[in-house]
Amino acid sequence: MSGFQINLNPLKEPLGFIKVLEWIASIFAFATCGGFKGQTEIQVNCPPAITENKTVTATFGYPFRLNEASFQPPPGVNICDVNWKDYVLIGDYSSSAQFYVTFAVFVFLYCIAALLLYVGYTSLYLDSRKLPMIDFVVTLVATFLWLVSTSAWAKALTDIKIATGHNIIDELPPCKKKAVLCYFGSVTSMGSLNVSVIFGFLNMILWGGNAWFVYKETSLHSPSNTSAPHSQGGIPPPTGI
């Protein structure tokens, strides 16, 4: 077995260079989703007791269990005799979000391992039949899972935007009372979450495109290593009678 020896030449080839891009893209994928924190606000008044609008806020973030995000009035303020802490946002999107982020983290770790193999054990990778084949299978599976996880997360993000938007007013029981007037205030921009979806599909494209370059290193595309000695005179060809 060959020892560890740094060789940066593979990074200049498409196989290694795209792997670096996959590594970087995976970081952006889980960082833009997993690090999100936001809040949605509504304005409430109930004349003649309260004529000025009071702000009630619900804070949410990754993993987006909205059904655990309760509304909070300003400290020490009784707004319309409603215990706002008893009311929460609607929906639990943690499964899609956690699947997406967890898979992105695993991809990040796999890219590190693959790059170490490409750079440190170049000859071992090129001379082996199993390692390129394993790399090829993982690449195909990763491409498919990027499609699945990103699509699921994109659908969940759409639902999150709806659940934290103007529809809150129609869903909150206190806001259905005639004496309580509710108005939608604002919600934190979800631009970083939109970016996470973009990077998810970008990762899918990168892994799908890299599948060809990984395939070229496998025995499915290249002649078997075991046939080389025979063709180079390891066994003399038969002579005529």
Beta strands in the chain (DSSP E): 37-46, 50-61, 71-72, 181-187
Whether 79 has a pLDDT exceeding 80, the answer reads yes
Whole-number percent of the chain with pLDDT over 90: 67
pLDDT band at 231 (very low <50, low <70, confident <90, very high): very low
- Dihedral sign, CA of 75, 80, 85, 90? negative
Identify the weakest region by mean pLDDT among 25-34, 87-96, 207-216, 226-235: 226-235
| Average pLDDT value for the chain | 88
How many C-beta neighbours within 10 Å does residue 100 have?
29
pTM of the model: 0.84
- Tokens (6 digits) for 92: 């639990």
How many C-beta neighbours within 10 Å does residue 176 have?
11
Q: What is the pLDDT of residues 140-183, one digit of tens each?
A: 999 999 999 999 999 999 999 999 999 899 889 999 988 899 99
b/e sequence 52-86, b meaning 16+ C-beta within 10 Å: eebebbbebebbbbbeebebebeeeeebbebebee
Interatomic CA distance for residues 80 and 181, integer angstroms: 10
Whether 86 has a pLDDT exceeding 60, the answer reads yes
Asked whether residue 57 is domain-assigned, the answer is: no
Asked whether residue 173 is domain-assigned, the answer is: yes
- Tokens (6 digits) for 22: 């996959």
Domain total in the chain:
1
Cβ(232)–Cβ(72) under 8 Å? no
Whether 42 has a pLDDT exceeding 50, the answer reads yes
Asked whether residue 195 is domain-assigned, the answer is: yes
Asked whether residue 115 is domain-assigned, the answer is: yes
Whether 113 has a pLDDT exceeding 80, the answer reads yes
Interatomic CA distance for residues 88 and 68, integer angstroms: 6
Instruction: Tell me the residue range of the domain where 113 lies.
Output: 9-38+93-181+191-216
Look at 75 and 1; give whichever has higher pLDDT: 75
- Dihedral sign, CA of 102, 104, 110, 115? negative
Asked whether residue 228 is domain-assigned, the answer is: no
Confidence (pLDDT) at 106: 97
Q: What is the pLDDT of residues 186-221, one digit of tens each?
A: 999 999 999 999 999 999 999 999 999 999 888 776
Give me the helices (H) in 61-129, please: 94-120, 122-127
Amino acid, single-letter form, for residue 56: V
Asked whether residue 2 is domain-assigned, the answer is: no
Confidence (pLDDT) at 163: 94
Confidence (pLDDT) at 5: 74
Q: What is the pLDDT of residues 88-108, one digit of tens each?
A: 999 999 999 999 999 999 999
Confidence (pLDDT) at 220: 77
DSSP string, 81-92: T--GGG-B----
Distance of CA 226 to the CA centre of its chain: 41
Asked whether residue 3 is domain-assigned, the answer is: no
Asked whether residue 77 is domain-assigned, the answer is: no
Q: How far is CA 13 from CA 8, 87, 120, 189, in A?
A: 10, 56, 15, 40
Confidence (pLDDT) at 125: 84
pLDDT band at 13 (very low <50, low <70, confident <90, very high): confident
